[in-house]
Chains A and B, each alone.
Chain A
């Protein structure tokens, strides 16, 4: 099946050229990154793009690694064009940020991961996508750039709803910054899908900071259950200040199942989703606690 006719295709090699083109063509233009979501949408005529701006050659969007900001804070910077494959297998991710590879390594299949990018996944904002959850759990910031300047959002502000974000048609998501965690922090992610490499029926991401066995702070998001990933605030509050034992994690899982509002859709009923959250919530929390001891998020 073909996309509708496309009049112009640009493949600029600098960010500046991209921004000029976006400025010139406004919402006639669509950015093409990995194409793993956009091309199917174009074929289905659910999106139309008279002008395509292919960003795959833009070097500025391919940054990847730890760096110090002007503030002196260290972050892991992930350029928007970073492929799922890199996030699934990069030694830095595996050793220090395994929650990201937890999520990236079961996105689709090898071919999808070879092409798909984190920027495309976050902007597409599929409620069942894998990467939004760890990005939210790690309190990341997202940098949007346009001809008019730059805007920075926390991940929580960035996602608005079903396939909806704050991004404007003339903006590009340039990179994501993940702040360095407090000492004693661990994080983990798990998704349940119908078949290997499919979108999440439910997914759970958790980050826990421990000091002398006591939970100092926590962050929990659930994916696949709602139009956008949902934060489990009551569960966080339940955990904070408590000495972590397996019994407490079990109780925290019950709080989570209780507080979360889940929906039914063609892939799963709300009841089944709650059963899955009960089943896997404890595992994810335990994994985060285990990683806290190894200083891995």
Chain B
């Protein structure tokens, strides 16, 4: 069957009630089935740290979040798919006066200019450092293929990740585990 030949008449707008845990807080909302997860986070929950850069094809990575322990693009998921899920967005990473080492790395190493890509970038870095505490430059680059930056040229982002990795490596184990509880 050819997907492009199979265009149906659109359905009637259906809704569904979902319950999601985002950054440790539980939310219950009724949402249109066609609502994208990124729009749910931004429009329904007001968590506008998660950005939308490309809107259709899912290429830019600005909307990256951590869903049940994996970094994914929230513009390629329906909100209803996240029913029962545990989500981390940039708002849950650290506090302004208590930055996560990843945020500290971007701050210290000037890992951003306009900042549009940064929240998604940090979610992918989170997933990388969770499983690979000492990534090589090549591994950092591979982990960030799905996050496009139009400003920095990536060099400072790589330094930011290395800074964060070093900071985290110097911490006692319990503290490290707390940083990566998602």
Name A residues whose Cβ lies closer than 8 Å to a Cβ of B.
Answer: 1-9, 11, 27-28, 32, 35-36, 38-52, 54, 56, 85, 108-112, 114-115, 124, 162-165, 167-169, 196-197
How many B residues touch A, CB cutoff 8 Å? 45
In the complex, chain B residues 127-151 whose Cβ is within 8 Å of any chain A Cβ: 127-128, 142-143, 145-147
Flag if A39 contacts B76 (CB, 8 Å).
Answer: yes
Flag if B10 contacts A48 (CB, 8 Å).
Answer: yes
B121 CB → nearest A CB, Å: 12
In the complex, chain B residues 23-48 whose Cβ is within 8 Å of any chain A Cβ: 32-36, 39
Flag if B1 contacts A4 (CB, 8 Å).
Answer: no
Q: Which of A49, A114, A162 contacts B72 (CB 8 A)?
A: A114
Flag if B1 contacts A169 (CB, 8 Å).
Answer: yes
Flag if B3 contacts A111 (CB, 8 Å).
Answer: no
Flag if A112 contacts B7 (CB, 8 Å).
Answer: no
Question: Which chain B residues border A54 with CB–CB below 8 Å?
Answer: 80-81
B133 CB → nearest A CB, Å: 17
How many interface contacts (CB-CB < 8 Å) are there between A and B?
Answer: 145
Cα(A165)–Cα(B1), bound, Å: 6
Question: Which chain A residues border B175 with CB–CB below 8 Å?
Answer: none
Question: Which chain A residues border B70 with CB–CB below 8 Å?
Answer: 85, 114-115
Flag if A27 contacts B6 (CB, 8 Å).
Answer: yes
Name B residues whose Cβ lies closer than 8 Å to a Cβ of A.
Answer: 1-4, 6-14, 16, 32-36, 39, 55-58, 61, 64, 70-73, 75-78, 80-81, 83, 124, 127-128, 142-143, 145-147
Answer whether A110 and B7 are a contact pair too, CB < 8 Å, given A6-B34, A115-B72. no
Q: Which of A40, A50, A108, A111 contacts B56 (CB 8 A)?
A: A40
Flag if A47 contacts B7 (CB, 8 Å).
Answer: yes
Flag if B14 contacts A8 (CB, 8 Å).
Answer: yes
Question: Which chain B residues border A27 with CB–CB below 8 Å?
Answer: 6, 8
